[in-house]
């Protein structure tokens, strides 16, 4: 019987899921897996290779040529796409603007979910995404569903992006977040919904330390009789 622990963190775009997931993994010495990075890397491959998203055969064929790997250094996500480090490029706007369309494709989701489940089979992990507590690990020991005011989320993301790309505007970032929320919650295949047994964490007015404490308290409560 497997006794490994899985912590599933889901929620809206730019909610600080990865900040919390990384901090928890570091504190608990768990492996951190950023499932969104996988959808982003697939999107990058599709953009570079002009894959037609409406052509199911082309999508399935392209997926066979994609090999993703995570390398964890200091709990930062480093992801390779066919052995090329793409961690920075997958955060840029061209990928952000197209990733929800790619993540809505059934073939893509099936392949990513399969790979994610393999990662959680024998190790203690914290995984963040949109369908981790509902589809990937419905039996996760702890599920957290994160949310925050969309304006606050756009401001946080804008600050991060603006450092690397001064041309990006706050409106553009806000639009992108609103669009992704819409796409993620309305798509047919595994839409973003809160698992019934997930704990809600609204971090609009919380610091990263406060949200970490909130999650740690929930984890400690698991082991109480």
Count of residues touching ligand DC (by CB under 6 A): 14
Residue 143 binds ligand DC, judged by CB under 6 A: no
User: Which of 46, 120, 131, 156 is the binder for ligand DC (CB under 6 A)?
Assistant: 131
Question: What is the smallest separation between the CB atom of 167 and ligand DC, expressed in angstroms?
Answer: 20
Question: What is the smallest separation between the CB atom of 102 and ligand DC, expressed in angstroms?
Answer: 8
- CB-based contact 214:200 (threshold 8 Å): no
Q: Please identify which residue in the block is written with the tokens 């971090």.
A: 203
If the CB atoms of residues 30 and 153 are measured against ligand DC, the closer one turns out to be 153
DSSP letter for 216, please: H
Question: What is the smallest separation between the CB atom of 198 and ligand DC, expressed in angstroms?
Answer: 14
**Dist. CA 149–CA 136, nearest whole Å:** 26
Residue 36 binds ligand DC, judged by CB under 6 A: yes
Residue 129 binds ligand DC, judged by CB under 6 A: yes
**Dist. CA 30–CA 5, nearest whole Å:** 9
Give CA torsion, residues 131, 86, 212, 181, to 10 deg. -40
Residue 30 binds ligand DC, judged by CB under 6 A: no
Residues contacting 194, CB < 8 A, separation 6+:
10, 133, 145, 200
Residue 103 binds ligand DC, judged by CB under 6 A: yes
Question: What is the smallest separation between the CB atom of 45 and ligand DC, expressed in angstroms?
Answer: 14
User: Which of 130, 143, 156, 157 is the binder for ligand DC (CB under 6 A)?
Assistant: 130
Question: What is the smallest separation between the CB atom of 220 and ligand DC, expressed in angstroms?
Answer: 26
Give how far Cα 100 sits from Cα of 76, 87, 145, 164, 211, Å: 23, 18, 19, 22, 26
- CB-based contact 194:200 (threshold 8 Å): yes
The three-class DSSP label of residue 193 is coil
Q: Which residues bind ligand DC (CB under 6 A)?
A: 13, 35-36, 39-40, 99-100, 103, 129-132, 180, 184
């Amino acid at each position: 019987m497997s006794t490994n622990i899985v912590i599933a963190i889901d929620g809206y775009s730019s909610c600080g899921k990865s900040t919390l997931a990384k901090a928890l993994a570091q504190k608990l010495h768990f492996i951190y897996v950023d499932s969104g990075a996988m959808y982003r890397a697939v999107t990058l491959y599709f953009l570079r290779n002009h894959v037609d998203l409406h052509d199911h055969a082309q999508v399935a064929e392209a997926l066979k040529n994609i090999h993703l790997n995570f390398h964890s250094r200091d709990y930062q996500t480093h992801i390779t796409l066919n052995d090329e480090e793409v961690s920075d490029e997958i955060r840029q706007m061209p990928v952000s603007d197209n990733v929800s369309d790619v993540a809505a494709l059934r073939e893509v989701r099936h392949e990513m979910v399969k790979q994610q489940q393999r990662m959680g089979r024998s190790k203690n992990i914290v995984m963040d995404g949109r369908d981790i507590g509902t589809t990937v690990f419905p039996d996760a020991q702890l599920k957290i569903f994160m949310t925050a005011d969309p304006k606050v989320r756009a401001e946080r993301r804008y600050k991060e992006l603006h450092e690397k790309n001064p041309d990006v505007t706050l409106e553009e970032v806000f639009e992108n977040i609103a669009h992704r929320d819409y796409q993620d919650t309305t798509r047919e295949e595994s839409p973003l919904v809160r698992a019934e047994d997930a704990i809600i964490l609204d971090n609009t007015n919380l610091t990263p330390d406060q949200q970490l404490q909130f999650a740690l308290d929930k984890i400690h409560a698991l082991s109480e009789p």
